[in-house]
Structure 1
Amino acid sequence: MRGFFLNTQNPSRDGSCLQKYLYFNLSAIKEKGTLTMARLTLDLGPRSYYNLGPEVEVALSVAEEPGLWGRSLPKPGRMLALQSVPGPQGSLHFNLQDVVKDWNGNRLENLGLYLEILAKGDRHSGVENTCDRLLRSLHASLLVVTLNPDHCPSSSRKRRAAIPVPKGSCRNLCHRHQLFINFRDLGWHKWIIAPKGFMANYCHGDCPFSMTTYLNSSNYAFMQALMHAVDPKVPKAVCIPTKLSPISMLYQDNDETVILRHYEDMVVDECGCG
């Protein structure tokens, strides 16, 4: 679901690029469903390896103390994330499962989020251009995944089915996790010019037989999970990438020649059981 930015402030003297109040309408979420994932995505703009701006710091907080509509807007409350971003460009992802769970339990607590982006540097380092670009290109979306509790039998209830359903089938299911690879940590920053790193991500989680139809699984994974439920000697279906995307890198070879190269299958976009 797309987020609504309700207030915008111009860059101020304290280095703040923008301060925005972000609200998501969660009325489409069924209260009966079990929340399994809530991920906020902030799109900072298209990737460019030639016009990198100064580093920015992204601060995300829960909005509190709303005041009266039309007179005052919510203020930043509990800090959820504080992250430095080179560029800025590409997308940032934040796990908001606990926050959305609280909001879904009490809709009156959904006062939105408070987003502030601070630019590090002075006018000569392109701070003003970076702020202007962010104001034009910033978008936010919230991906929420819920499961029907009817598809997650209670582990305390006796089952008559011949095939057992594993405990915790609604928790720790196969999905994508964030993993940022910083080339400096690998010692590659001396020859890779751009990017400084990338969000590679990884897949992890359980693939129980009872949930394979909901986890982007192949027919083979379904049959393997079925056979494992019947015979534990058969290996379980595993959580693997099902969709990958490429990245581009600008680097120097041994002759100090600058090369731009496209590398396929570097970023995990989706996960499933296989």
Structure 2
Amino acid sequence: MFPSVGALLLLLLCPGPSHGRSPQIRSEALKRLLEVFGMEDAPQSPVATRQPPQYMLDLYHTVTGADGVTKQPELLLGNTVRSFLDRARNQRLEFFFNLSSVAKSETILAAELHLFKLRGRLSQDLRQHRHLFCQVSVYQILDNNTSKAEGKRLLSTRILPVHDNTWEVFTITNAVYDWTQNKESNKGLLVIVQTLAGHKLHNYIRFATGRDHHSSKHPMVVLFTDDERRGTATFTSRETPFIREVTLHDKASQSRNTRSANLLGCLRYPLYVDFEEIGWSGWIISPRGYNAYHCKGACVFPLGQNMRPTNHATVQSIINALKLTKGVATPCCIPDKLFSINLLYFDDDENVVLKQYDDMVAGSCGCR
């Protein structure tokens, strides 16, 4: 059986015998680690090519704490958030977003069109009306002839003040669901601006475009999905379980700590995953690494409450100590609390993805 995630990290990051660091073993370990992150190959998009959308950066910092550990999981709808920039890059109010990276198997939870509304170019008489409003409607393009009713489908409509200069968000979940099920149906979006009386406003209302404005204001689709990848036990960082922790000061002390671990009992030890060290810093935006921790130490009789033993582990340690049954080993020191982490990264199409991964950090250790 292939090693666990903790064993993979120890193999990749910790010193050991020469065969443990051979190119073949390292390659296999990295491949397996990519599978844990739901990928076949590492994305090739370099982080330096462009800035991630500020919305995605803000969302990442809202749901995560130190080292990417989840602090507010209830704020994230599903376990994956993607941002797609407009590929049409024209001056008209038509937008196109390439969603080909979304798998059909993913559950579409919500999709939003984010547009940066610029201040309207108003005539002198209209400028006097500070509370002037307009109606902005977003349509899914069904046919190239959008002048006919059957050529488009209404997705969202809102009443907006003309004078505002801010981001506006429209729900487009139905269109995105169609596009992910049938890529050929993706003909883009059309935005129509009208007065409250239904008259079109041709040049008064403008939205930033990918062609004429800074990348921080480019039109964007934000998609919330769930790929139903779930761990066995996910805990949030708001829990504060009893944790005994030993810090390894330097590599020379590791062998000494290994020998003393049996005397100290089951403890949690640092295990820092440096994405630059394993060659992933080119596509991961944040975090630059995280502390996965690992559990080490003996679970010998008598098991104290500080070792957080289960009843089964307590009985097993007694049977082992009394030699009542041949071949019964001592209980194992393993994580009994696991936290999730979040990665913010560029995929192969330079879309920014925020993804949550369960059971990635050992929160505490116990005898099992």
Greater relative contact order (CA < 8 Å, ≥ 6 in sequence): 2
Higher strand share: 1
TM-score tier after normalising by the smaller chain length:
0.3 to 0.5
Higher helix share: 2
* TM-score (norm: length of structure 2): 0.31
* TM-score (norm: length of structure 1): 0.41
